[in-house]
A and B are shown apart, each in its own frame.
Chain A
């Protein structure tokens, strides 16, 4: 792989800008029989909480036009399992590791951040946007003051790692939230998490999801994500990592032109497990064909009317 795709996000260098998004790629184990994980710029691993979580009852998934709803509810083995079992394996994969963390209180987020700070992860992504949990999650990410508060607490707990805050699109003004977390010490923001949605089985008159509502992802949300990334990139000085419905290298280019310094791939992986590496190859070819020395040249290069 050439230097063309190297990107830098708040001091962390990625060999390419393509990162499977948290919650869609586990800890990489399920995909490495298809291709080496070193092909990826990085991996944002499954959201980790201080203690193990079982998540929500099923069904947790519903198909939608060009996408899907999920209501997993942060099922994970907890911080100890992540640090002792998953991370040592991930560190051998020659790719950047982003620890995605979530908590139900500000104190819990800070405690978890302090634990992760001592590990060898490259970056911490604070999830203040999960729509599927009753405490914390989106409740943190939909209020400017609270979003700032939890960002500050986590930033203070992190002595060694840069902090990226993952934002919710389920807000009136995502730029206000982004500015608030920037002012509270965030080194980068990532967006968008899923959009809150609902499907109903018309035969049973029951919601398909046991939790009634869930997060919408997939190509259906892509234009919303591009718009929010563009607005946010214009509102803050810290880097923006863009995600939401990216399925092809063309989508990745579009998202970077909107202002994303790197991109995350989520639901597209379910349709095509090779999607992340196909996007890497597509970006490489795109740079070659267009005489682009480094992909970062296109970041924010959209010329609005």
Chain B
């Protein structure tokens, strides 16, 4: 073995010595040398928005084309014939470029001129180039050789550290030794589980002297169910998860099962490609499971406007645009919203390509209606079994019809909503939502795909004492009568008629109609003799056509059973993505200048050519889109994901602009490391998050002490070169959760509907909404912050104060601030004070000095310094007599009623609670060490 190592080392030595003498080609590099000059000086007038003089530098073919002066501005190989170069040196203020701006430096002109001479080749921005595994920059050949046989010498623990150290060497920076054990454990635990370690964990880790103590702890924390909760917290911002719909009413939305899906996915170590595929296209997977439908709620977290009088189509389109922009920002790190109005100003993506991409998302059934259709109906398990067995039967016997029956029974879709109606006579859309018709009134439903369907369901309200007559005619108001039916709420409930209380309060009934072919204009006329002229005969919530019953089942109980299941009350619902059936397919136009009111030509689905040209497979639907995203040909997915993981651990992404890796994003601090990590994540770890996170936290870079040195303050003030460990302010979730954990109040319950912990009065005061913040009972008030009810118009105060955003739209990164409002929150919020009191109660018998020592150890896993102890002791002794003297104050503090007896130790308990309040507010508590 030893010989083998020697031979390997010698061989490698020769190889590397040889390598030193390779020569580098010196050609002008478009990305690093040319593009920055163009972006800074030229592109705002000659880019994707403005094309002054008919000249644009965004695409090569455009730049080499004829300008409005009828000649090409760039002639490859000939700077002297290129007006693009010549004009840089002109004096005439009308002719010289940049127009009305300072001229370029001679060096810049030389670079551009040489570039034209070399052929004016456009390079691709680094993030759009295919992912390749970069060479690890070992500082010496023997370090490389050792790493080949799995050994590390010196500071470095794995490849990450070689990249980091190489950059540090370049910058004349050093790094830090390993952090203290307690600090390291607190950092690791906060990063992997979102929680501070317990006293027992600190002790166990402190006393574990085995070589792999740290690695064992990493493995243990990755297995903890708290892991999924912590990483789901990150994903919630990207998914713009909220428990309400947004806009004026900001009414409640039941979508918490999606949050639980995300927690579960992280806990299962679901591969990232599967994770994003399920969220973008779970409904299109073969035989989707319930959880895969729930996953698609990712894109049902868009706002839904219920305000009276709003146009559903406007807000449906707004939601689709949001889905497009969110997909690009969160999963592809590309600011795509620019392209909504015009070609991308800086990156080679054309206006039309936005809409070709939007077309993937534009064919889902949701239409901004108040009940948030379509939704998955979660049945109790016995009902779900009945549904499954009927669907199973159809699948075996009539596989072609399985999908439509599944949509009908599991989802009650495709619903036809009132906004489909037009030609209102004595009828209107009530509140722009529901169809209300007065006696004799009528509406048209234009071009409804009938396709020989013979069963319909109508959800309606009728407040009159007698049934309303509904006549449906074909083609015109005088056309052939298709059916005459009664909208009746006077009868007692029976088969086929359900009164209220089901699916958002509608009474509904099934009706049989004769078979009609193709698309038909249906005219609905309503009459009710008991109705006064200004009263409504009925209000229609929605209606739908049931699929054709298979011929062989016509005389069986199949249809009745199906109807029964359709009428079965679910336990809950989750809004999901559901693709329109073919006959309801929506086409997608380009919106001129981004306005939905100005549709241009229709486009077909496609990914931008920049990517399509490298991908051999067709991308025809959301599923194939998701598959492209996780394919080796997609250059962005892995880079964007690892950049996010990095930011969670180190506080700043390798590309600081997590939302934009495009050419306007900030330059990566370690581009090769980012590529290397992306490669590792995608190929070595096959998109498994736990393995990948382990790889990152095992690095020396992660484990180093977070002490700032004079040198790092000067040369690396924001720690972009990792000259010390990450010392980062905790998130609002982490701050509240750790206080609950320390106090012993934290509930370990996972998942379920969102909860309402203590919150000051008067936070929820949106108009036109009956929603109330009702404090949850029992342990539900002490759940992890991830489960706190999120109302978009007024999120939980601690979240807002500590920079969490509102979740109106996706948020790629929270910009950390440091404000007095945060101090007030952490000092005075009753939740934090309650935690301090419960924490103090854990040490009833101890002398105050021992209490302070133990308390400090519980929080930080280390001994308190004597001077810190002195400060706390002094505070304790200052406060204690104030309460000993003033029993009223004690009562106030403990919220005691006059008839409650006061415990003897009240003053000391309160003084300890106040000491704990101080401890919880220390910089050490508020930061990751």
Q: Do A and B come from one complex?
A: no
List B residues at the A interface (Cβ < 8 Å): none
